Chains A and B, each alone.
Chain A
Amino acid sequence: MKSYIRKIATSPLGVKLRNLTGWRSVPISFAHLQKNATVSDGFIWRVNENFTTKFNFADLLPLFTNSSDNTIILEFFDHLNRPIKTITLENLVDVSQEIIIDSSLLNTTGYGSFYIYHTSNSTLQECITFSNRCYVGYSYQKNLYSNVHGNTYVKSKGINNEKVEGNMIQSSGIRKYQYTLQNSFKGFDKTELVFVNPHNYTVKMELNGLKHRLSPYEVKVIEFKDDIATIRGQSYFLRPIVFNYLNGRIDVYHT
């Protein structure tokens, strides 16, 4: 009986009901994903006269499966989730890979999101769902890249098909969640908090009482001037990337 209840409670419908009511809520769920899938964080690119972005990632499928015809797909979007470019990488020899994201790659400037997926034509001997957390470096005024790893599960794609799913990060229909970033922002020339909406629907949030609205998968850069940052909203994880500026240097980290 217990295992039956557990099965229902952890099913996609069970998770939805728990989060709708706030009873034993589930912050992150992969229950609704297909069996062979890769999950991508919502990575952020910044390209302008001050910024270049670098993306370091690993060809993970050969490390964990029998697949030998791996493809890596990188999908780039602008800050409002409008597609910019898709890059397909095949026949990769090395495990670690790197691309520079600049205006010549994207044919545009600004900021936005990008996602990494691993696909294969091989039939996998064993089902696997995995996430490639990867590392994004930001070079400010052509100086050393400041690196940060992926931090928010946003989209997923089948390893053997094109089906894209989202909403691994959960939200509640009733409760509002509060999240205070565990660092002080005192003493910097400037601080920016960069959010990516991990949902395929619009979410509202408050940052220290100021209201913001993020459209589906939108990336928003918010200049932040207080010492402490508290986020309130119905999404469980609206966790920004922090860009701290001091004396012409930057420090980028996830929260």
Chain B
Amino acid sequence: MNYFFGYTGNGLHSQLTIPKFQNRAAPDPEIKLWGIQSNEDLWEVATENVNEDEHFFYVPQEQINNHKVFVLARKEELSGFNPERLTPLNLYTSTLPAYRSNFKLLNQKGGFSSYQSEYPTGMVEKKGGIISSIKSLLNPAATDNYILIRNVYQSPKTDSFNAYLIDYKSKKILSKHLLKTNQTNCIKVAQKHIQPNVFLFTDGYLCIPVYVSQHQGHLSMEHTHPPHSYILSENVFKKVSELKKEFYEIIHT
């Protein structure tokens, strides 16, 4: 089951186009859109009234905040909803290729950028850390550079964890940022840190990092992959743990 999310802040807002159909099948006429958000340490689910047509739900900026996630489920599947732990309600969005919504980011000057986005259940159930090279997607020539860091974790209780910008070659921490679970966090990245050996590293929770650049009213947004998606051989977890170990050593020195 996949979760869908957006972002608002720093003069940016978002819209989601969430398909009702699997990428190899017709739409399910019974499927509904639900918003899930933590409130006083419990998950709450509510129906989302948005514009829709035969194929899509269109979630406007007014219904998007940095906490809520959206899911697709039939009404009767809500009987399996657990306020104390986020668990899959169905397998409708567990497809290959991945079931994705369009996450479009917009600014006040008409700029827009989007990507096909999802937060998979597999990441909700695990803790860990992510490593991501920041120079690959941020643009030092742009006016603004941000990293949106989305976490969705099964517990509704908000927890704090740290993200670091680390120079991998000099083994130095350039900056440290406090993040929250179950939130789309945002880091504004200084131009001086957009360097070829600088990585984003999170300690404690998995996240999806989404890189945003803004310049002269134009926007660019794209997400990065976790390192294990680069390795196709069976030693993937060993190789990734070896790399992560190097980063843990830097932050704990």
B150 CB, min distance to chain A CBs, angstroms: 17
Chain B residues lying within 8 Å of A57, measured Cβ to Cβ, are: 136
Q: Name which residue of chain B comes closest to A156, CB basis.
A: B232
Q: Mark B19-59, 1 if CB is under 8 A from A, else 0.
A: 10101100000000000000000000000000000011000
**Inter-subunit contact A145/B220 (CB<8 Å):** yes
Chain A residues lying within 8 Å of B104, measured Cβ to Cβ, are: 251
Q: Name which residue of chain B comes closest to A181, CB basis.
A: B23
Chain B residues lying within 8 Å of A179, measured Cβ to Cβ, are: 23-24, 97
**Inter-subunit contact B232/A131 (CB<8 Å):** yes
- The yes or no answer to A94 lying at the interface (CB within 8 A) is yes
**Inter-subunit contact A144/B197 (CB<8 Å):** no
In Å, the complex CA distance between A94 and B225 comes to 20
Chain A residues lying within 8 Å of B100, measured Cβ to Cβ, are: 182
**Inter-subunit contact B216/A143 (CB<8 Å):** yes
Which of B142, B215, B231 interacts with A64 by CB under 8 Å?
B231
In Å, the complex CA distance between A246 and B21 comes to 26
**Inter-subunit contact A135/B136 (CB<8 Å):** yes
Chain B residues lying within 8 Å of A181, measured Cβ to Cβ, are: 23
**Inter-subunit contact A144/B116 (CB<8 Å):** no
A239 CB, min distance to chain B CBs, angstroms: 7
- The yes or no answer to B233 lying at the interface (CB within 8 A) is yes
In Å, the complex CA distance between A134 and B233 comes to 19
Counting chain B CB atoms within 10 Å of each CB, the highest count among A144, A180, A247 belongs to: A144
In Å, the complex CA distance between A249 and B229 comes to 31
**Inter-subunit contact A130/B233 (CB<8 Å):** yes
In Å, the complex CA distance between A239 and B96 comes to 12
Chain A residues lying within 8 Å of B233, measured Cβ to Cβ, are: 35, 127-130
Chain B residues lying within 8 Å of A134, measured Cβ to Cβ, are: 136
In Å, the complex CA distance between A106 and B112 comes to 30
Count of chain B residues near A, Cβ 8 A: 54
In Å, the complex CA distance between A177 and B116 comes to 21
**Inter-subunit contact B102/A182 (CB<8 Å):** yes
Q: How large is the interface on A (under 10, 10 to 19, 20 to 34, 35 or more residues)?
A: 35 or more
**Inter-subunit contact A253/B231 (CB<8 Å):** no
Q: Name which residue of chain B comes closest to A177, CB basis.
A: B24
**Inter-subunit contact A58/B133 (CB<8 Å):** yes
Q: Mark B205-231, 1 if CB is under 8 A from A, else 0.
A: 000000101111011111111000111
Which of A30, A56, A96, A255 interacts with B116 by CB under 8 Å?
A255
Chain B residues lying within 8 Å of A157, measured Cβ to Cβ, are: none
B33 CB, min distance to chain A CBs, angstroms: 14
**Inter-subunit contact B196/A149 (CB<8 Å):** no
- The yes or no answer to A254 lying at the interface (CB within 8 A) is yes
- The yes or no answer to B127 lying at the interface (CB within 8 A) is no
Which of A144, A148, A237 interacts with B142 by CB under 8 Å?
A144
B170-206 contacts to A (CB < 8 Å): 196-197, 199
Which of B97, B114, B243 interacts with A63 by CB under 8 Å?
B243
A157-209 contacts to B (CB < 8 Å): 177-184
Chain B residues lying within 8 Å of A255, measured Cβ to Cβ, are: 116
Q: Name which residue of chain A comes closest to B96, CB basis.
A: A27
**Inter-subunit contact B137/A56 (CB<8 Å):** yes
Counting chain A CB atoms within 10 Å of each CB, the highest count among B97, B213, B219 belongs to: B97
Chain A residues lying within 8 Å of B221, measured Cβ to Cβ, are: 147
B250 CB, min distance to chain A CBs, angstroms: 14
In Å, the complex CA distance between A58 and B19 comes to 33
**Inter-subunit contact A149/B218 (CB<8 Å):** no
- The yes or no answer to A13 lying at the interface (CB within 8 A) is no
**Inter-subunit contact A247/B110 (CB<8 Å):** yes
In Å, the complex CA distance between A251 and B153 comes to 30
**Inter-subunit contact B224/A149 (CB<8 Å):** yes
In Å, the complex CA distance between A182 and B100 comes to 7
**Inter-subunit contact A183/B17 (CB<8 Å):** yes
A17-48 contacts to B (CB < 8 Å): 27, 30, 35, 39
- The yes or no answer to B239 lying at the interface (CB within 8 A) is yes
In Å, the complex CA distance between A70 and B114 comes to 35
Q: Name which residue of chain A comes closest to B217, CB basis.
A: A249
A39-93 contacts to B (CB < 8 Å): 39, 56-58, 60, 63-64
Q: A56-B136, A94-B197, A237-B97 are in contact. Are A131 and B56 (CB under 8 A)?
A: no
In Å, the complex CA distance between A139 and B249 comes to 39
Q: A39-B232, A94-B197 are in contact. Are A182 and B116 (CB under 8 A)?
A: yes
Q: Which 9 A-B pairs have the closest CB atoms?
A: A94-B196, A144-B218, A96-B135, A96-B196, A182-B19, A129-B233, A147-B222, A183-B102, A56-B136
| Sample of 6 A–B contacts (CB below 8 Å) | A127-B233, A127-B235, A130-B233, A134-B136, A237-B97, A246-B112
Told that A147-B220, A251-B114 touch, could you supply 5 new A-B pairs with CB distance under 8 A?
A64-B230, A64-B231, A94-B197, A96-B135, A182-B102
